Amino acid sequence: MDELQRVVLVHYHEIGLKGHNRSYFEKRLVKNLQALLHAYPIVTIHRISGRIIIFLKEGTEDALACRCAEAAARIPGVARTSTGFKCERDMDVMSAVAIRALAEAEPFVTFKVHARRAHTDFPLDSMQMNRDIGAALCEAFPDKQVKMHDPDVTLFCEVVQNACFIYAHTIRGVGGLPVGASGRVVCLLSSGIDSPVATWKMARRGAVCIGVHFSGRPQTSDASEYLVDEIAEVLERTGCIAKVYTVPFGDYQKEISLCAPPSLRILLYRRLMMKVAEAIAHLEHARALVTGESLGQVASQTIDNLCCTDDAVSLPVFRPLIGTDKLEIIDDAKELGTFDISTQDAPDCCTLFMPRSPETHGKVEVVREAESAFPIDAWVEEIVASAETKLYFRES
């Protein structure tokens, strides 16, 4: 069997992809895969009839092909990935390759063959291919059963113009849309559990995410900044963060805490954060802000208080976790790989100058009135000017 090449097949959902969107979506996904899978021995990545095929270098080990398929499955826009082979269009070769491909899908009990002929210049039709390859597999796997409806594994055999692709082992991907397909947003990114998950969810819907982290510096250490950098490195692996702005925020909180009514402090900090994030959004051509808030989780996340923070800005504020339970968010954070970082202790601006009994039903007029005692516009300008930035994943 000479021309046997390892491939990874990347499938995406076509639901919601209409007309010219589709070609853009596919190109975006190919570019992201190329950029994010650079550590694997890839020869080329091509779009072929409704899916993307990653061609691996000759001699790529099976285990490495599997790891490549797992890495690809975590990239937004990918619905499923399969490990398989490209081989010549010869029924003897195809049957032998099918045996190898099916073995890779262990453990399973039932299977079926699904053959397809994209080119009618191949002498056998799909029914005949199903029968012949099925017979070879039954002989090679005498303890397995053929099951036409809902089998454990389906072995796909696809004959195209000059070659044949055979694959069985398939894993589920994260789905969504490729990063870069849905515009740009600014995400308020703390080192807590929630906002990394919120950022990831927006990236999974195709948004390019720019993070803004408010550090308690100089009133606290810079420990939270290191944690946010670690979180960003996790998000970067799947292309889910483009850049992070870090801003020292401690002195402004101190100012607010010295002069504002204690119960309104948190709302005033949060409004200032939103205004800074909005100014950064304008610089970054981003059209919305994103937070990790979830309804009722803490005092600042009541409907009244969310209205008070929204009132500070004119950009829309997206809260992808608003209806999510903490336990679900924790599961997502574990899956994403940020949970262990987020549970390390680091003081950030959230832990600074907290009042004993914060307002839970803020009134917009009252908060605006309290805010008018501070030179907010000048502060926003100062804070943005003092921001440090770091680049992560760049769409090409």
The binding site for Mg ion (CB under 5 A) comprises: 190, 192, 350
Partner from Mg ion, ligand ATP, none binding residue 189, C-beta < 5-8 Å depending on class: ligand ATP
To the nearest whole angstrom, how small is the minimum distance from the Cβ of residue 198 to ligand ATP? 6
The dihedrals phi and psi of 115, each to the nearest 5 degrees, come to: -100, 150
Cβ closest to ligand ATP, residue 284 vs residue 293: 293
Count other Cβ atoms within 10 Å, centred on residue 116.
15
279 makes contact with ligand ATP (CB under 6 A)? no
To the nearest whole angstrom, how small is the minimum distance from the Cβ of residue 179 to Mg ion? 25
Cβ closest to ligand ATP, residue 143 vs residue 345: 345
Closest to 220 (Cα-Cα) out of 386, 347, 345, 350: 347
Q: Hey, what are 222's tokens?
A: 């810079």
Encoded one letter per residue, x for contact with ligand ATP by CB under 6 A and - for no contact, window 298-337 reads x-x-------------------------------------
Torsion of the alpha carbons at 83, 89, 95 and 97, rounded to the nearest 10: -30
Cβ closest to ligand ATP, residue 178 vs residue 192: 192
Partner from Mg ion, ligand ATP, none binding residue 291, C-beta < 5-8 Å depending on class: ligand ATP
Task: Tell me how long the chain is.
Answer: 396
295 makes contact with ligand ATP (CB under 6 A)? no
* Residue bearing tokens 């069985």: 168
**Alpha-carbon gap, residue 30 to 178, rounded angstroms:** 9
Residue 150 zone, left/alpha/beta (φ > 0; ψ -120 to 50; rest): left
Cβ closest to ligand ATP, residue 60 vs residue 300: 300
To the nearest whole angstrom, how small is the minimum distance from the Cβ of residue 289 to ligand ATP? 9
Cβ closest to ligand ATP, residue 5 vs residue 309: 309
* H or E stretch at 167: strand 164-175
348 makes contact with ligand ATP (CB under 6 A)? yes
**Alpha-carbon gap, residue 29 to 178, rounded angstroms:** 5
Residues that bind ligand ATP (CB under 6 A): 188-190, 192-195, 212-214, 291-293, 297-298, 300, 348-350
